């Protein structure tokens, strides 16, 4: 696992965009996270597209997750969010941006279909991840099986609370999602996990330096062959081995 510490969230976004840009000539299948953390990276990639530096033609994208009960049209569905934050501003065909169907009658079937669609596409080349304050990735909450596949999960009350900021006052915040499993995420060839801000510092420390444990789902990335964790100084605040990470980054 590689840990890169950047000055602030803007520098995290540039670093992440640099790595993604290296993959672009291969027309990669991208794994996209929603939430607030990757938004700056998406903006950086949009700028590079607009300046003619990169093109996403031929790329495909798979989202990590989708809320249960929100139709595609809902403004807070991840289907809409990723289009608003990223894909409508670049040259990726809309039908090549996939997400689980959280409004399906048969959610188990929708989850299995999504898992199969990722596999049929040849898997994810570069997976972008955020991390929850409780260590979740996708919506694999603490206690999730480390080899889980795409399925319906109940969100943790903390996650529901963290996500409430995106919903109008009085509006019900979803309590379930269809999420890629930890086993699904682990199949991605390259993983980039981004974390910014002091609130994420305990989760980052548990992910990188704690035991591999379902209690911190992101810690499964310690088993991944090519995972890069890019954090700002605030999110790096609780790392014990920080001197080594800085040394290793300077001596890559
Ligand atoms: C979103 C997702 C979540 C978020 C995590 C962090 O698709 O899968 O795991 O990445 O909840 O969210 P932010 O970035 O809003 O702090």
Residue 20 has pLDDT above 90, yes or no: yes
Distance from C-alpha of 207 to C-alpha of 193, rounded to nearest angstrom:
10
Distance from C-alpha of 99 to C-alpha of 103, rounded to nearest angstrom:
11
Token digits of residue 205 = 């420390």
* Strand ordering across the sheet containing 2-6: 2-6, 227-232, 190-195, 126-129, 29-32, 60-63, 97-98
Q: Residue 213, Cα to own-chain centre: how many angstroms?
A: 19
Q: Return the pLDDT at 30.
A: 98
Q: Return the pLDDT at 239.
A: 98
For residue range 31-49, what is the model confidence (pLDDT) as tens digits?
999 999 999 999 999 999 9
For residue range 130-165, what is the model confidence (pLDDT) as tens digits?
999 999 999 999 999 999 999 999 999 988 998 898
Instruction: Output the residue whose Cα is nearest ligand 1's atom 8.
Output: 138
Closest-lying ligand 1 atom to the alpha carbon of residue 32: 7
Sign of torsion, CA 92 176 76 196? negative
Per-residue pLDDT, averaged over 183-209, amounts to 98
- Please give the share of the chain, as a percent, with pLDDT higher than 90: 94
State the DSSP string of the chain: -EEEEESSHHHHHHHHHHHHHHHGGG-PEEEE--SSTTHHHHHHHHHHHHTTS---TT-EEEESEEETT--TTSTTSHHHHHHHHTGGGTT--GGGEE---TT-S-HHHHHHHHHHHHHHTT--SEEEE---TTS-BTTB-TT--TT--SEEEEPPHHHHHHHGGGS-TTSPPP-EEEE--HHHHHTSSEEEEEE-SGGGHHHHHHHHHS--BTTBGGGGGGG-TTEEEEEETTTTTT-SSHHHHHHHHHT-
Share the mean pLDDT of the chain.
Answer: 97
Per-residue pLDDT, averaged over 203-214, amounts to 98
Active site residues: 65, 134, 136, 141
Q: Return the pLDDT at 162.
A: 87
pLDDT band at 191 (very low <50, low <70, confident <90, very high): very high
0.85 surpassed by pTM: yes
Neighbours of 21 (CB within 10 A): 14
Q: Return the pLDDT at 170.
A: 87
Q: Ligand 1 mean position to 132 CA, how many Å?
A: 6
Distance from C-alpha of 89 to C-alpha of 106, rounded to nearest angstrom:
32
For residue range 48-97, what is the model confidence (pLDDT) as tens digits?
999 999 999 999 999 999 999 999 999 999 999 999 999 999 999 999 99
Q: Ligand 1 mean position to 119 CA, how many Å?
A: 23
Q: Ligand 1 mean position to 161 CA, how many Å?
A: 13
């Amino acid at each position: 696992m590689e840990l890169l510490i950047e000055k602030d969230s803007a520098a995290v976004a540039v670093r992440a965009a640099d790595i993604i840009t290296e993959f672009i000539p291969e027309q990669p299948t991208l794994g996209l996270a929603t939430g607030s953390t990757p938004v700056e990276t998406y903006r950086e990639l949009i700028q590079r597209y607009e300046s003619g530096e990169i093109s996403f033609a031929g790329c495909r994208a798979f989202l990590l997750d989708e809320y249960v009960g929100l139709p595609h049209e809902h403004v807070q569905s991840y289907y809409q969010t990723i289009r608003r934050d990223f894909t409508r501003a670049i040259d990726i065909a809309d039908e090549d941006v996939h997400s689980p169907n959280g409004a399906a009658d048969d959610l188990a079937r929708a989850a299995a279909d999504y898992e199969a669609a990722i596999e049929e596409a040849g898997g994810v080349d570069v997976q972008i991840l955020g991390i929850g304050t409780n260590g979740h990735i996708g919506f694999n909450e603490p206690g999730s099986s480390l080899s889980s596949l795409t399925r319906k999960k109940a969100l943790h009350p903390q996650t529901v609370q963290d996500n409430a900021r995106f919903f109008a006052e009085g509006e019900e915040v979803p309590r379930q999602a269809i999420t890629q499993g930890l086993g699904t995420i682990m199949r991605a060839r390259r993983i980039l996990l981004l974390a910014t801000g002091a609130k994420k510092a305990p989760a980052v420390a548990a992910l990188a330096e704690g035991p591999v444990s379902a209690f911190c789902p992101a810690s499964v990335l310690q088993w991944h062959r090519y995972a890069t964790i890019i954090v700002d100084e605030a999110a790096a605040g609780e790392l014990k081995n920080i001197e080594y990470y800085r040394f290793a980054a300077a001596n890559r």
